[in-house]
Amino acid sequence: MKVAQFCTLLLSGVISLPVLHAQNPSVLQTVSPYSRFGIGELQQNGAMINSGMGGGGIGMRNDTLIPQFINFANPASLTSNKLVAYEISLLSNTVQLSNATANATFNRTTLGSFALTFPIKQWWGASFGIVPYSSVGYNVSNADSLAGIGPVVYKYEGSGGVNQVFLSNGFRPFANAPKQYLLSNKYDKLKLASDTIAIKKQLRFKKNLSNISIGIQTSYLFGSLSNIRRDVFPDSLYTFNTKISKRTLFSDGYLNYGIQYAFSLRKSLNPKYISMPDSNVIRKKIIRNEFSYLLNGQKDTAALFINVPGIRVSFGAVCSLPTQINTSNDWLGQTYKQVGTIEQIRDTILNEKNIESYVTIPAMYGFGFSLKSNSKWLFQADYMTQLWSKASRGEINYGLKNSQRITAGLQLQPKANGRGKYMGVIQYRIGARWNQTFLELNNTQLTESSVNFGMAMPCPYRTKLGEPVSRATVNFEYGYRGTTDLNLIREDFFRLTIGLTINDRWFSHYKYD
């Protein structure tokens, strides 16, 4: 079906939105009739690894291995970035809107994200960047009839978006706790008393404290949303059409907070070492804590050395408090006559500029965890909720519902440490996301579901040990939102994200013999 034929598509909602018109998507950041509500369609503004694993990552952290990724989901994860990492991505979004009788397809391509993260101290990491926060793009109409006047068509148009510039900082407030304990008088007394049990207990407690990271993300939201309503009287010669335009400028700060706790399970012993009788293995000290292992009198460190690290476990939580975002509103009301495609303005009935107001963004809470085995595999799962029933424009409540989101994702790399054939060192990612949105239409709260697949492919340049320092990433996502039941609209979307993540080492001091 041609796009022009989609003008007859029926949409019925809380505020009746019957007919959806085609509109040039190149001038819109989104193409969705549902973006009319609230502050628009919220964007999934994750980094490449987040978008490839369902959009989550509250519990994800890097380790000392290359490559290192950027995690937008939790600012506390920045303490795990030991190298500089910068990332840029492009997003192509294809959307098919349909009901039981008609459908149309739109496409848009935009900048996905840009971010840079870098370590400042052993216990302090930072990041900054820009991502889209929300977007509006719709063109709908509703036909009715008024007594004594005749037919009337209510037309609604919207466009624009809100962007987010952020500066994030992550800290390990107790990073030096074990070292400080070893230098304390309490440790000296326990050592003098040979109380090794108390010493181990205190060291374990201090080490657990050092594994705690906290983070704060300071964001600046800016942009504009344009909403236009027209009341058109197509059969009346004596009644002027009316047009009410509203432009809302966003300009204010916004804070997110995060915390993570990470630890490693015990290292597992080499199975060959475990299965051998003690009489067959001789452990010989070379120097300090270095040993050689002799199997039946012959050195065989490759087979016997205990070098299988345990799984790294990380738990995380994020939150944001209710925030009033300052806005400035321009209102323009006009009457006009439609002559062909030209609107001939007859009078201005409303003209107000720079009307100060605010939009309340409600509280958000989320938690998640991740499991990581070296560079072989990584699993994450998240849950997040946001109290959109408290959202308002000034003192007027939007009438939205609380939203919730569940994500899960898995990353696999067949060959560890960046070595092996090319297909073996690609990081393969799969994920899924289920989202109960803040929209309730015809007593039905809309849900959104999607599945993801991605590949992070090493670029040619590598370190001396063979690890790639940069990766080109391609993510694919298919999902849908809404339903064709109850005269609602179903949105099927296919998103292609292409990005580049580069690791680098800055501010290094070289030493010469």
- In contact, 87 and 499? CB cutoff 8 Å: yes
pLDDT for position 26: 43
Q: Dump pLDDT digits (tens) for 353-403.
A: 999 999 999 999 999 999 998 778 999 999 999 999 999 998 889 889 999
pLDDT for position 329: 93
Please state the domain extents for the chain. 20-172+210-261+317-504
The span from the CA of 300 to the CA of 294, in Å, is 6
The span from the CA of 141 to the CA of 158, in Å, is 12
Residue ranges in the chain modelled with pLDDT below 70: 1-30, 64-65, 267-309, 416-420, 461-468, 507-513
The span from the CA of 161 to the CA of 441, in Å, is 23
The span from the CA of 437 to the CA of 504, in Å, is 39
The span from the CA of 390 to the CA of 127, in Å, is 30
DSSP letter at 462? B
pLDDT for position 292: 57
Cβ of 237: how many Cβ atoms within 10 Å? 6
pLDDT for position 97: 86
pLDDT for position 210: 92
Q: Dump pLDDT digits (tens) for 176-214.
A: 998 998 899 998 998 888 888 988 899 889 999 999 999
pLDDT for position 311: 85
The residue among 263, 380, 375, 250 whose CA lies nearest residue 324 is 250
- In contact, 39 and 403? CB cutoff 8 Å: no
Of the candidate CATH numbers 3.40.30, 2.40.160, 2.40.50, 2.30.30, the domain formed by 20-172+210-261+317-504 belongs to 2.40.160
Pairing type for strands 403-412 and 427-441 reads antiparallel
Q: Which residues lie closer than 8 Å to 387 by C-beta, 6 or more apart?
A: 322, 362, 363, 364, 402
pLDDT for position 387: 96
Phi, psi of 124, deg, nearest 5: -145, 125
- In contact, 262 and 198? CB cutoff 8 Å: no
pTM (two decimals): 0.81
